[in-house]
Amino acid sequence: MQLEARGKINWSLDITGLREDGYHLMDMLMQPVTLSDTITLLPGEDLSLVSGGFPKLKADDRHLALRAARLLKEHTGYPGGAAITVFKRIPVGAGMGGGSADAAGVLWGLNRLWNTGLSLPELEKLGLELGADVPFCLRGGLTRTRGIGEEMENLPCARTYPLIVIQPCRGLSTREVFQAYHEAPETRHPDTNLSADALIRGDLAPLRKSLGNVLQPVSVRMRPEIGRAIQKLKESGAELALMTGSGSAVFGVFRTPARARAAFSSLATLWPSAFLTGTCAESIVMTDS
């Protein structure tokens, strides 16, 4: 079995509170993008993992794909295993949910390969044990996600958008970004209701005023290259540009694929980690059964 596990962008990211256990309460608009990791799953007696592509990741116990497989095996009591291969393309430490996408892809794929019969809500609940973005990476679509990632509301989406994604610098530690956010002065919060309505209608104009990511200012202070990449995307014709997640990747939204391709030809010479991609509906796509 082979499948594509897609990354995501945060159209909007807001922090609405802090739980007693230290987890942040979020209000986010998220959507998958076509930039993906390829996952191959084959039946096996034991669990094994090979990680290839770029960026290079060690195929050890920290890899979310292997942790997802072990969690599903333990939860269902499945007696066998699988040979897992992950070919990376989604940048790491970028706020694009690459590790979460791999975990979601393995849960989704092994549930079918092993015939363990879990429903999507059951997989989402299991995925939350691995990370806050895993339930979304299982579900896909345009969603408004609240809480710590478990409260997802599906939204209709009028259109998809061509994007250029740039990771202009090394990855950021999510923990360090959140700590810096709490130490920062009051920041401007996005109008998530207006942003959701604009995305539902496919209207870029109000998005420019309503979108926002409360983590962007602190991430830019930690990595000024993020701010420069956002500015360069706007200068290159992006209708709007924003950081996704806690960074360090940023994305620019273009009105047409032709405009995105024209901008990409020059931006790719400035940043090796630049990707021509676009929003889409599905987070996981099977390419070979």
What pLDDT was estimated at residue 53? 93
**Which residue is it, tokens 């989704």?**
108
pLDDT for res 56: 78
The yes-or-no answer on residue 37 being catalytic is no
CA distance 9 to 31: 6
| 51 and 137 inside one domain | yes
Domain shared by 171 and 149, yes or no: no
Q: What is the pLDDT of residue 187?
A: 78
Catalytic residue among 8, 73, 88, 232, which?
8
In order, the DSSP letters of 80-130 are -EEEEEEEE-SPTTSSS-HHHHHHHHHHHHHHHHTT----HHHHHHHHTTT
Q: Does 269 map to a domain?
A: yes
Q: Answer whether 164's CB lies under 8 Å from 267's CB.
A: yes
Whether the predicted pLDDT of 22 surpasses 90:
no
Helix or strand or coil: residue 258?
helix
Q: Which of 123, 97, 107 has the alpha carbon at shortest distance from 67?
A: 107
pLDDT recorded at residue 61: 86
- What does the buried/exposed string (b/e) look like for 126-142 if buried means 16 or more CB atoms within 10 Å of the residue's CB? bbbebbbbbbbbbbbbb
User: Which of 230, 13, 1 minimizes the C-alpha distance to 143?
Assistant: 13
Would residue 51 count as lying in a domain? yes
Indicate the average pLDDT of the chain: 94
Amino acid sitting at position 139? R
| Three-class SS state of 18 | strand
- Report whether pLDDT(135) > 80: yes
pLDDT in tens, 185-226: 777 899 999 999 999 999 999 998 899 999 999 999 999 999
Is the pLDDT at 173 greater than 90? The verdict is no
Question: Could you say which of 93, 128, 156 is where a domain stops?
Answer: 156
Q: Which domain holds residue 181?
A: 162-278
What was the pLDDT predicted at 19? 85
pLDDT in tens, 70-95: 999 999 999 999 999 999 999 998 99
- What pLDDT shows up at residue 140? 97
Across the strands, what pairs with 277?
163
pLDDT of residue 201: 94
CATH number assigned to the domain comprising residue 120 = 3.30.230.10
The alpha carbons of the chain give a radius of gyration, in whole angstroms, of: 18
Q: Are residues 111 and 171 in the same domain?
A: no
pLDDT band at residue 158, thresholds of 50, 70 and 90?
confident
pLDDT digits (tens, 9 = 90+) for 259-276: 999 999 999 999 999 999
Say if residue 6 is in the same domain as residue 84.
Answer: yes
* List 27, 37, 102, 133, catalytic entry: 133
The yes-or-no answer on residue 197 being catalytic is no
Geometric angle at alpha carbon 263, from 257 and 267, rounded to 5°: 135
For 45, list phi and psi in degrees, rounded to 5.
Answer: -75, -35
Do 8 and 129 fall into the same domain? yes
Instruction: Reply yes or no on whether the pLDDT at 289 is more than 80.
Output: no
Number of domains in the chain: 2
Beta carbons within 8 Å of 243's beta carbon, 6+ residues apart? 95, 213, 215, 216, 219, 220, 226, 230, 249, 250
Mean pLDDT of 130-140: 96
- Digit-coded pLDDT (tens) for 29-59: 999 999 999 999 999 999 999 999 987 788 8
Q: How confident is the model at residue 21, as a pLDDT? A: 83
Mean pLDDT of 242-254: 96
Does residue 284 lie in a domain region? no
Tokens coding 159: 């259109």
Q: What is the pLDDT of residue 183?
A: 84
Do 223 and 179 share a structural domain?
yes
User: Cβ atoms within 10 A of the Cβ of 180, count?
Assistant: 18
What is the reported pLDDT for 175?
85
